[in-house]
Chain A
Amino acid sequence: MSFLNLNFMYIKPIAPELIITCIALILMLLDLIVRRKEVIALVGIIGTTLALYLTFKVYGLAGPQTVFNGMFVLDGYSSFFKFIFYINAILTICISLKYMEIEKAAYGEYYALLLFATAGMMIIASALDLIVLYLGIELMSLSTYILVGIIRHDTKSNEAAIKYFLLGGFSSAFLLYGASLIYGLTGTTNIGAIAAFISEKGFAGNQMLLLSMALFTVAFGFKIAAAPFHMWAPDAYEGAPTSITAFMSVGPKAAGFAALGRVFMVAFSSIKVEWSTVLIPLAVLSMCIGNIVAISQTNIKRMLAYSSIAHAGYALLGVIAGTNSGLSSMMNYMFIYAFMNIGAFAVVIMLRREGFKGEDLSDYEGLAKNHPLAAALMLVFMFSLTGIPPTAGFIAKFYVFMEVIKTGHVLLAVIAVLFSVASAFFYLRVVMYMYMKEPRGEVILTTSAPICIALAVTALIVIVFGIFPSSLLDFVSLAISG
């Protein structure tokens, strides 16, 4: 296809991305004429739901469809990640409506940027070319940097954004250097063509290939916040608006995993042994640092930041397994993680009110006395994050660990289980504070209809998929097969 051929068939696979982008642009314009932010949020949710419907309609049907000269692919893998991104966007919009007003940063651009970031993530999931992958990562990251710093009168938010920005830019440069070496080695930037060239020429042990793989590992390590490339995460998560913390602990992380899975499983498939040797210490270190340092945190956002580092470690296990079913266990993990994490942050957001941060662990003391429902929801999310049955978090961890054992990394699975037991200490401490301690002062919850809906949905999913996981597993297996 050397000339423009813009008939409908040609752009059909990219329709969800186009919808999200168009809605983002409409939101920008709508912000000029509509004063009520609820309308803007509603339009955003409707647009995202439309895109979700379109993706759902083609999900698991035909094989992969590539367009734009093999740069963009619509397949089950990308569609599944797109579900995570849609859910992430919708839930984030729900939980941020009231919250951004309290923070006095209710700008209309906020919602447009959320959707631009989502569009970037979708492009990452669908990218079959390193150039498109890089641009998708940049679209996602640049939007997220702005969102982190959007409370511009708050020094903490500014600082978080600067730190996130500097380390994000630094890691992007590594990604580019890796991409340039791969391009020099193989003469192409197409992920499929790279794999074909490497296996055809028998380049598996080539030093340049290994160097490029190492550079990619560094870059993706930053994006998914795996130790030792996690130093930005606690600060960025703590300083960002809480709704954005929820957004960026799910979306960019899942997008990073989507890119990691695509690049490592396809382009670097011939050096699987080498990259899994590199990823294993990354995963172990992430679980170690995430779970151990989280114990000493007193700020709940910071604690959840370290927990998200640990969860990156668990999800990495699925990639380390290096099989298609391992990959699907990682996808399953990210899907469930999206719900339980956003749910936990939704409870954190409810504690925030004018003049009261509600981010300290001690603010949760005796929450169950005054607000039994909120405490019960937090209990569910904390159980799920720990991985206690019958919540979905258990299913997520169980399948990841099983895949690792299947590929012979028994020791790794044992380490993961041990750290997962250790993590109970700080997750259940929140529960202990809520149920065992006496309330210190009056905690008033800021509730609104959207945040209640978001909480209900997340809690429901976490419990239902914990008890009946088979439907979710069937859904995930469609992604790999189609």
Chain B
Amino acid sequence: MVPLSWYIVLSAVVFSIGVVGFLIRRNIIIMLISIEIMLNAVNISLAAFSHYLQDIRGQIFVFFVIAVAAAEVAIGLALIIALFRNKPTLNVDEINIMKW
């Protein structure tokens, strides 16, 4: 039997990697991917809690998160395409018409 804490620590580590990816990368697409990694980390912990609490609601939560993640990606990529048409760059520090 794998203890619960292993899953939660794994989830925390993956979440932090997502945070780091978001904070250090210049490429907007990879920042978006980092958010996906964070959501996946949350999903791991939700599924783990669901299993150990013997409660199905955690899994249902994961479903909703996956559905929302798909919607978020669709909008994010549409925004990126709209931006790229006007200004062919994907680097977040070059998106600077307005100062950050």
Contacts and interface: CB of A to CB of B under 8 A. Distances in A.
A183 B41 contact: no
Given A170-B22, A177-B41, A149 B82 contact: yes
Contacts of B80: 162
**From DSSP, what is the main secondary structure of chain B's interface residues?**
helix
B19 to A, nearest CB: 8
A137 to B, nearest CB: 10
Interface in B3-50: 8, 11, 15, 18, 22, 28, 31-32, 35, 38-39, 41-42, 45-46, 48-49
Contact-residue bracket for chain A: 35 or more
A166 B36 CA distance: 11
Interface in B74-100: 75-76, 79-80, 82-83, 85-87, 92, 95-100
B63 to A, nearest CB: 10
A314 B48 CA distance: 40
A159 B39 contact: no
Contact of B79 (A134, A155, A161, A238): A161
Interface string A150-179: 001111101111110110011011001101
B79 A145 contact: yes
**Interface residue SS majority, chain A:** helix
Contact of B98 (A159, A173, A177, A179): A159
A290 B68 CA distance: 32
Interface residues of B, number: 44
A132 to B, nearest CB: 10
A308 B59 CA distance: 38
Nearest to A175: B42
B100 A135 contact: no
Given A142-B72, A156-B98, A184-B49, A173 B83 contact: no
B98 A162 contact: no
A184 B49 CA distance: 5
A234 interface: yes
A158 B85 CA distance: 10
Contacts of B39: 173, 176
Interface of B: 8, 11, 15, 18, 22, 28, 31-32, 35, 38-39, 41-42, 45-46, 48-49, 53, 55, 57-58, 60-61, 64-65, 68, 71-72, 75-76, 79-80, 82-83, 85-87, 92, 95-100
Given A165-B75, A180-B61, 17 more contacts: A134-B64, A135-B64, A156-B98, A158-B86, A159-B98, A162-B95, A166-B32, A166-B76, A169-B35, A169-B72, A173-B42, A177-B38, A180-B42, A180-B58, A187-B55, A231-B100, A235-B99
